[in-house]
Amino acid sequence: MADSTSKKLDFQLYVITGTNYHPGRSMIDVIEQALIGGADIVQLRDKTASKQDIRENAHKLRQLTRRYGVPLIINDHIDIALEAEADGVHLGQDDLSLAEARRLLGPDRIIGISTHSIEQGLAAQAGGADYIGVGPVYPTGTKPGRAAVTTSYVQEAAEQIRIPFVAIGGITLGNVDTVIAAGASRVCAVSEIVGADDPAAVCRAFKARLHAAAPQRSEVQADDFAGTGVIVNGVAQRTTARTVWELICQHRLEDRRVVVELDGEIVVREEWSCTPIHEGAAVELVHFVGGG
């Protein structure tokens, strides 16, 4: 079955596969780098591969995303999503209808819908979408020929949409602050992440920007989740952080030199994003002030 907690849709950074952007590197390695950097949700999107190859990649990504406790969404193919036990599907305006997709997938799986105007966004929300894509915010080579909706639609979505919405299309580290300023608290990227030499570093940078804009999101998240009881540097507290990396972000230490000890064991930086925070965890966050 799909992972039971996935419907919480507690994400800030959404990464989509794009194998044409990383010739010579395996899709699984690149996406694992994105997960190490803090990507919160992964979509398998492949518009050119055979259905059999997409199916095989879906199974591989299912194993990988499970290891990181991150939801997996399949673009376009409901049958593959069901077979690979993905958490949901993403559908566009010209794909299968939302109503039919819901009938096939049932109430528990995630359905995301692409929207390109506030009318489409409100319709998807009324139709029972779990999240919507808002884009393309900027022109993008990943979806050539599609007119940009600009940050005006991001602003409208922030004002009127009550389900999670994710800004997508041409989003880079160079413009993400503008997208966030327009009202996005979730962003999605393909080329900027999977085409990077260091996808983990790019994801970390995206997460730092998203967190800086909305730190309260990580501190007070789902209404039904009071947080995990932990002891940080000797102080008992509750945290919504699911991983060491999220805890570091909540303590605003993402740009600092930090050594992390969890239950007496050092956690190396490469493992921060995939090391879960458990109830009763004793965490020491030692950061170095100044040079030398």
Ligand X SMILES: Cc1nc(C(=O)O)sc1CCOP(=O)(O)O
- Whose Cβ is closer to ligand LCLJCK34: residue 176's or residue 283's? 176
Element (H, E) at 268: none
Q: Which residue is nearest to ligand LCLJCK34 (CB)?
A: 92
Query: What is the per-residue binding string for ligand LCLJCK34 in 77-116, x denoting contact by CB under 6 A?
Result: -------------xxx--x----------------x-x--
Residue 166 site contact among ligand LCLJCK34, ligand X, Mg ion, none (CB < 5 to 8 Å, cut-off depends on kind)? ligand LCLJCK34
Among 95, 219, 261, 284, indicate the residue that binds Mg ion (CB under 5 A).
95
Annotation says 6 is catalytic: no
| Secondary-structure breakdown of the chain: helix, strand, coil percentages, each rounded to the nearest 5 | 40, 20, 40
In the beta sheet, which residues pair with residue 91? 113
Annotation says 4 is catalytic: no
Task: Report the phi/psi class of residue 29: left, alpha or beta, with left for phi > 0 and alpha for psi in -120 to 50.
Answer: alpha
Annotation says 60 is catalytic: no
Q: Does 34 bind ligand LCLJCK34 (CB under 6 A)?
A: no
Shortest distance, CB of residue 231 to ligand LCLJCK34, whole angstroms?
38
Joined together, the tokens standing for residue 48 give: 């050119």
Q: Does 190 bind ligand X (CB under 6 A)?
A: yes
44 annotated as ligand-binding: yes
Q: Does 143 bind Mg ion (CB under 5 A)?
A: no
Answer positive or negative: Cα dihedral of 194, 197, 200, 201. Answer: negative
Query: In the window 118-147, what residues touch ligand X (CB under 6 A)?
Result: 133, 135-136, 140, 142-143
- Whose Cβ is closer to Mg ion: residue 78's or residue 230's? 78
d(CA 2, CA 97): 21
**Where do the DSSP E strands lie in the chain?**
13-16, 41-44, 72-75, 88-91, 110-115, 131-134, 165-168, 187-189, 228-232, 235-239, 258-262, 265-267, 282-287
Q: Does 191 bind ligand LCLJCK34 (CB under 6 A)?
A: no
Site size toward ligand X, by CB under 6 A: 15
Q: Which amino acid is at 128?
A: G
Residue 108, classed as helix, strand or coil, is: coil
How far from the centroid of its chain's Cα atoms is residue 288's Cα? Answer: 30
Residue positions forming the annotated binding site = 43-47, 75-76, 95, 114, 140-143, 170, 190-191
Active site positions, annotated: 45, 114, 143
